[in-house]
Amino acid sequence: MTGGEADLITRVSDDLPALQIAVPLLSAAICLLVRRARAAWAVAMVVAWGSFASACVLLSRVLQSGTISYAEGGWRPPWGIELRIDLLNALVLLVVTGICAIVLTASPRSLDQEVWREHHHKFYALYLLCMTGLAGMTITGDAFNIFVFLEISSLSSYALIAQGTTRRALTSSLQYLVMGTIGGTFLLLGIGMIYMVTGTLNIADMAVQLAAVGPNRTVLVALACIGIGTGIKLAVFPLHIWLPNAYTYAPAIVTAFLAATATKVAYYVLVRFVFSVFGAPLAFGELRLDAVLMPLAIAAMFAGSFVAIFQDDIKRMLAYSSVAQIGYMVLGLSLASVSGLTGGLVHLFNHAIMKSGLFLVMAAVVLRMGSTRLDAFAGLGRRMPFTMAAFVVAGLSLIGVPLTVGFVSKWYLVVGAIEGGLWPVAVLILLSSLLALIYIWRVVEVAYFRQPPEDAPEVSEAPASLLVPIWVLAGATVFFGVFTSLSVGLASAAARMLFGVEL
Amino acid sequence: MIRHVILRALSKLLIPLIMLFALYVQFHGDYGPGGGFQAGVIFGAAIILYALMFGLEAAKRVFPPRVLEFFVAFGLLLYGGVGIEAILLGGNFLDYGHLAHEPVHGQHLGILLVELGVGITVAAVMASIFFLFAGRGRSDV
């Protein structure tokens, strides 16, 4: 390798933050041009796994040498658009790109069944666009940019959901479009108000200017608007009504992708604004955001799980379970302490793994049985043993059994609640876990202890292309349940950074 | 062809002017109000006017949907390609200063190409959306 080439490689690797967004965006256009289903998939695969590798490199660089700042177009922040990667969004970026890559790996067989083959190249283009938007929201250091990328990811996710096989996918997509647009508008209103007060759009600069201005009514209204806007995208109870339909009627691959990434990035945006822009004293002292969010979070934990128990469609059951799990993440935020926020961020990581695993199991069941109704699961424990075993492992994690990731996040949430002197909240966390036990048990009982009907069609195990990603995710729920240094280490370091506690 | 004679004759007269005006807005964006978005919408409006006056089929013969789809992607690739090229030439993403041997020329060239990319994509997307809605329920779409 000549000196010039080595020089070029170092230079380009300095541009990884920009490439993290630009390459998926351009590859989406390339997918549209190649027009062949498998070729588009190959392009998307290379890009998705490349993005994941790039996210790993960025994370290790942040760990080594601190926050990365990248000036788009060479315009210095705060005037230009800055990409800013610190511990918090490096972790979120790792989750988003990792799940993107794994779900994409599992996609071809499931898509062959659920989406017209002529539309596959467009599907992958949309998938990459959605990934562009999510990665952009995560790493940008510019508040208006967050809104732009939110729109990119939202518009592409509406189109992805509308690809579902039944016509109800269209109405669910429209419902999400209406709700999502309202959410985006609230977010934009909030950003506009901060811009009015501070005259800047750079997040780091906003924080400095806001500290100088101090709390006034405009700032408080801005925080409320941003809270509502991200709350809709995050599906905080009671703003979750778009979620169950969207998750149920979207193609299984889309559900696995969106459930693990879109709401997580919305949570990140909320955390970013609350801590990095407004600051904990303003958000929790002046506006009492914790007093608003905690009852909603607890209500979500119980209402979501309770409704999930009575669902006959297991995909829909998991969608309601997502509402409950989002409740845990919001609860972590509302505890307003380092250990609480650690719990929330760990749960972001953990829930992404287990929910994408569970929804991929749904993709496998749809592929073999053509339905995810509870009756379709009869006897599947023997007929699709590996798929259902993965469901049990990820399901145990959802309940929070020790040695799984669910236990780790609930542990930190309970510790956070007890540290805050809120032991009733700790009891409620444990009680709501019992509800998860009920709805997971319903499926396990039918799958393992009920005989399939006499006229049931012969089904074989899911294909390896689906089974391997499912087991990578199911294995990860156990692995990160035992070795917590990556997830908990990063989450607690990020939480300490956000509260301004010394590392 | 007997109906709407006046409208058709007038739009035949107007469509070239609209397209020319779109190009003016596109390339004069450096010096005055204008740029890719506006130019793209104006150009798209010319295509839509043609479709309204002479029918969807005629418009699709002139601007086949496959070609429009290509231009949707091509404009985006042009935009992003300029950004990537800036990286390869040693600058940050979209840092036009590195595109030519002299920064001012580079800025000029960069913004011209990026706006052209925006214009192409916007015009193609406008026309595609119109064709899709106008052709709704027909088998050939």
| Percent of chain B surpassing pLDDT 70 | 95
Q: Is the pLDDT of residue A196 over 70?
A: yes
Give pLDDT, residue A454: 74
Is B132 in the A-facing interface, judged by CB distances under 8 Å? no
Contact A26 B70 (CB under 8 A): no
Which residues of chain B make contact with A30, given a CB cutoff of 8 A? 73, 77
For B9-33, the pLDDT digits (tens) are 999 999 999 999 999 999 887 777 7
Residue B76 to residue A29, Cβ atoms within 8 A: yes
Determine the pLDDT at residue A95: 94
Is any Cβ of chain B less than 8 angstroms from the Cβ of A12?
A: yes
Compare CB distances from B93 to A8, A32, A73 and report the shortest one's residue: A73
Residue with tokens 């089904």, as numbered in its chain: A459
Q: Would you call A29 and B96 a contact, using CB atoms and an 8 Å cutoff? A: no
Write the ipTM: 0.89
CB A365 within 8 A of CB A441: no
Q: Give φ, ψ of A202 to 5 degrees.
A: -75, 130
The dihedral over CA atoms of B118, B120, B122, B128, expressed in degrees to the nearest 10, equals: -150
Nearest-angstrom CA–CA distance, A71 and A127: 27
Among B73, B87, B94, the residue with its CB nearest the CB of A12 is: B87
Domain boundaries, chain B: 5-134
Please indicate if any CB of chain A lies within 8 Å of the CB of B74: yes
Distance CA A51, CA B27 (A): 36
Q: Does B72 touch chain A (CB under 8 A)?
A: yes
pLDDT at A137 over 70: yes
CB pairs under 8 A, 24+ apart, for A287-293? A287/A220, A287/A223, A287/A224, A289/A223, A289/A227, A289/A334, A290/A334, A290/A335, A290/A336, A292/A227, A292/A334, A293/A236, A293/A330, A293/A331, A293/A333, A293/A334
Q: What residues form DSSP beta bridges with A68?
A: A85
User: CB–CB of B84 and A22 under 8 A?
Assistant: yes
Q: How far apart are CA B121 and CA B77, in angstroms?
A: 9
Q: From the list A8, A15, A30, which residue is nearest B93 (CB)? A: A15
Q: Using an 8 Å CB-CB cutoff, list chain B residues near A25.
A: 76, 80
pLDDT at A351 over 80: yes
| Angle made by CA atoms A316, A318, A324, in degrees to the nearest 5 | 115
Residue A371 pLDDT: 85
pLDDT, average across residues B90-94:
82
Closest residue of chain B to A72, computed from CA coordinates: B93
pLDDT tens sequence across A355-376: 999 999 999 999 988 888 888 8
Domain ranges of chain A: 291-503
pLDDT digits (tens, 9 = 90+) for A86-101: 999 999 999 999 999 9
A 41-70 residues with CB below 8 A of B?
Answer: 70
Task: Measure the CA–CA gap between A25 and A47, rounded to whole angstroms.
Answer: 10
pLDDT at B141: 41
